[in-house]
A and B are shown apart, each in its own frame.
Chain A
Amino acid sequence: MKYAFFPGCVSKGGCPELYQSVKQVYPRLGIELEEMTTASCTGAGVLQEKDLRLGDILNAHTLALAEEQGLPIMTICSTCQGVMSQANHRLTTEPGYLDDVNRVLAEEGLTYRGTTTVKHFVWILLEDVGEEKLRQAVKQPLTGLRAAPFYGCYIQRPSAALGFDEQPARAQSLETVITLLGAEVVDFPGKTRCCGMPLLTINEPGSLQMVAHHTSDAKEHGADVMVTPCPLCHLNLDGLQVKAAKHDRREIDLPILHLPQLLGFAMGLEPRALGLKRNLVSTTPVLEKLGVV
């Protein structure tokens, strides 16, 4: 199981603990990674607001690099995944579009043939690593921990570009992984909704309201912790939770974990190795519940 690893900007920027934790867990699952150092940002749907074709050219460049390596791409960010999946979908389904983009890539000596698959880590866990191997990697089942999933929009919609028709289990992939790790899934209506991050620049009160609503709703449904495969959601749900609680005049204090951090717990890895000190909402209650501290 070898992948071209696309870490994304945020795992190397605002959420270094995500990069750190995924580096800890992947070798224990039989995964090999080759990091794509020359691939650009996907545009995160923001650059695409200005120029969709430019975004598709940049992503076609990344897809072509992986195709040259003969490797599928692994992402660890819902937004990177969604933006690349959408670009790949347009490039491979819209007549003439791939040729148009390839004319730009050709001047760099590159061609994209449309064969690269892009998979988020959470999908790889279920589709490639497999349930049996994942179960074997669990050294300390997260028994008693109540975990609320929070997906991030880009890994849920539009489902047509994300391969949900061919792989319907992707829609519930987080719940499946949480269960396999021995924790209890806390279902709540906000799990597939927007975290508010894209709204932060234009409507900060609205963005904070989303953070406060989703985190407190998950807590009211009994969650000890929320887990997300998206570092952008993490920036909002964890980074701005204190501000959101103040804005909404309530206490929340819900720890937000990156998926590899939760997985690392179940593998029995040291909290320090998983970068937990970088989570802004204290994760100590989770460790206490698991009997780690």
Chain B
Amino acid sequence: MQTTFHIRRFNPESESPQSYFQDYQLATERSDTVLDALIRIRETVDESLTLRCSCRGAICGSCGMRINGHAALACKTKVASLISSGETIHVEPMNNMPVIKDLVTDMAGFWEKIRQVQPWLQPTGSAPEGEYLAAPEAMNHLTGVMHCIMCGACVSDCAALEVNPNFVGPAALAKAYRFVADPRDGNSSSRLGELNNPGGMWDCTRCMECIEVCPKGVGAMDRIMTLRAKGIEHGVPSTSGSRHTEAFADIIEQKGRLDEPMLAVRTFGLTNLRQMFSFLPMIFRALPRGKLPRSGPLHRPIPGIDRIRRLFQRAKEPR
């Protein structure tokens, strides 16, 4: 099938180093991956097209790029899965990292953030005579996260990183989870304390892009949520993120449904009155339109709230 590839090009050594799109026509087979097609373009049409790849079998994580707007491994994406009758395939370098040339990005920042979470086992106590052993059932839940091949797809499509480059990001947090949840690691509290800082686990916006684009099913955002739960469990200092979560749960236990003004007050509390007050213009616009929800005693619990409260209590009981 004749296929058009709409590829973002960038050459820093050109006279005017601006990125631009270039179209390539290529005859593709049903069995072709996007990587096969790109390599064929490079070998038969335009040898200047630059891309990075190695294993061609979704193991090395080298060929991460954005295909039709979402990060993916080019070697794991079949051309036939993207087109039915001659549609154009858009190919761009990964997002949230600098582009070196064409489809090749600079992963230095990615690795720096991975190093930031100290991705090595830190056992405490005296060393055993042999290996550090763990029961298989205590490690099963880590197998998913250990499938990570560091391709950067999750980082590329992370919405939180787009607005906050200091965010440590989904790949590093999934890696952090791998050690926080490892029964042999003795440094969980200190790790969670670090992750509780600005740029850490509370800076994720829960958009699930990382879950969707991961070629290995690591589910980074789910790991970040577990880190948050573990942080609360370990009593890390409160942040507006953790206060929001705690207040949300309390309100649902008390009322069965959300009390939005109360949630805002309990989240920002007296610690951030400036932010609270910055919402006043919006509140004054909403007030005359009857858009402000009821709160406090005026906001009644749902019928059957006693059952909801019992479910909360039973959920806390040991299984």
Counting CB contacts under 8 A, is B59 at the interface? no
Complex CA gap A199/B246 in Å reads 16
Q: Tell me if A242 and B281 are in contact (CB < 8 A).
A: yes
Counting CB contacts under 8 A, is B101 at the interface? no
Counting CB contacts under 8 A, is B182 at the interface? no
Counting CB contacts under 8 A, is B206 at the interface? yes
Stretch from A39-47, A128-136, A174-182, A216-224 contacting the other chain: A39-47
What is the CB-to-nearest-CB distance from B152 to chain A, in angstroms, rounded to a whole number? 18
Counting CB contacts under 8 A, is A239 at the interface? yes
Complex CA gap A157/B289 in Å reads 33
Contacts of A38 in B (CB 8 A): 302-304, 307
Chain A residues near B (Cβ < 8 Å): 9-10, 12-17, 37-41, 43-54, 57-58, 61, 100, 103-105, 107-108, 153-154, 156-159, 189, 193-194, 196, 198-199, 201-207, 209-210, 239-240, 242-243, 277-278, 280
Contacts of A53 in B (CB 8 A): 315
Query: Contacts A14-B260, A239-B286 hold; do A203 and B163 have CB atoms under 8 A apart?
Result: yes
Query: Contacts A47-B248, A202-B241, A210-B163 hold; do A54 and B312 have CB atoms under 8 A apart?
Result: yes
Counting CB contacts under 8 A, is B77 at the interface? no
- Picked from B248, B314, B315, the residue with its CB within 8 Å of the CB of A44 is B248
Q: Tell me if A153 and B252 are in contact (CB < 8 A).
A: no
What is the CB-to-nearest-CB distance from B294 to chain A, in angstroms, rounded to a whole number? 8
25 contacts between A and B (CB under 8 A): A9-B258, A9-B260, A13-B259, A14-B293, A37-B302, A41-B257, A48-B225, A50-B232, A50-B246, A51-B315, A54-B249, A58-B252, A61-B311, A156-B208, A157-B207, A159-B212, A194-B207, A198-B205, A199-B160, A199-B203, A209-B163, A239-B282, A239-B286, A242-B282, A280-B285
Contacts of B62 in A (CB 8 A): none
What is the CB-to-nearest-CB distance from A84 to chain B, in angstroms, rounded to a whole number? 14
Q: Mark B207-237, 1 if CB is under 8 A from A, else 0.
A: 1110110000000000001101100100000
Chain B residues near A (Cβ < 8 Å): 69, 159-160, 162-164, 202-203, 205-209, 211-212, 225-226, 228-229, 232, 239-241, 244-246, 248-249, 252, 256-260, 267-268, 275, 278-279, 281-282, 285-286, 289-294, 302-304, 307-308, 310-312, 314-315, 319
Please, which residue of chain B has its CB at the minimum distance from the CB of A157?
B208
What is the CB-to-nearest-CB distance from A15 to chain B, in angstroms, rounded to a whole number? 8
Q: Tell me if A280 and B311 are in contact (CB < 8 A).
A: no
Please, which residue of chain A has its CB at the minimum distance from the CB of B208?
A157
Contacts of A14 in B (CB 8 A): 260, 291-293
Contacts of B208 in A (CB 8 A): 153-154, 156-158
Please, which residue of chain B has its CB at the minimum distance from the CB of A65?
B304
Complex CA gap A64/B164 in Å reads 41
Please, which residue of chain A has its CB at the minimum distance from the CB of B252?
A41
Given A40-B252, A52-B229, 10 more A-B residue pairs with CB atoms under 8 Å apart are: A12-B293, A16-B290, A48-B225, A54-B249, A57-B314, A157-B212, A193-B159, A194-B209, A202-B202, A203-B164
Q: Tell me if B229 and A280 are in contact (CB < 8 A).
A: no
A contact patch SS: helix
Query: Contacts A153-B208, A206-B164, A280-B285 hold; do A10 and B258 have CB atoms under 8 A apart?
Result: yes
Contacts of B162 in A (CB 8 A): 210
**Which 4 residue pairs across A and B have the least CB separation, nearest first?**
A206-B163, A13-B293, A9-B258, A38-B304
Contacts of A193 in B (CB 8 A): 159, 207, 209
What is the CB-to-nearest-CB distance from B6 to chain A, in angstroms, rounded to a whole number? 14
Residue among A49, A50, A57, A199 with the most chain B CB within 10 A?
A: A49
Residue among A37, A51, A105 with the most chain B CB within 10 A?
A: A51
Q: Tell me if B205 and A194 are in contact (CB < 8 A).
A: yes
Contacts of B282 in A (CB 8 A): 239-240, 242-243, 280
Contacts of A277 in B (CB 8 A): 289
Q: Tell me if A203 and B203 are in contact (CB < 8 A).
A: yes
Complex CA gap A80/B319 in Å reads 27
Complex CA gap A56/B308 in Å reads 13
Q: Tell me if B239 and A202 are in contact (CB < 8 A).
A: yes
Complex CA gap A193/B315 in Å reads 33
What is the CB-to-nearest-CB distance from B37 to chain A, in angstroms, rounded to a whole number? 23
Contacts of A201 in B (CB 8 A): 240-241, 244, 267-268
Complex CA gap A72/B257 in Å reads 21
Please, which residue of chain A has its CB at the minimum distance from the CB of B283?
A239
Please, which residue of chain B has its CB at the minimum distance from the CB of A36?
B302
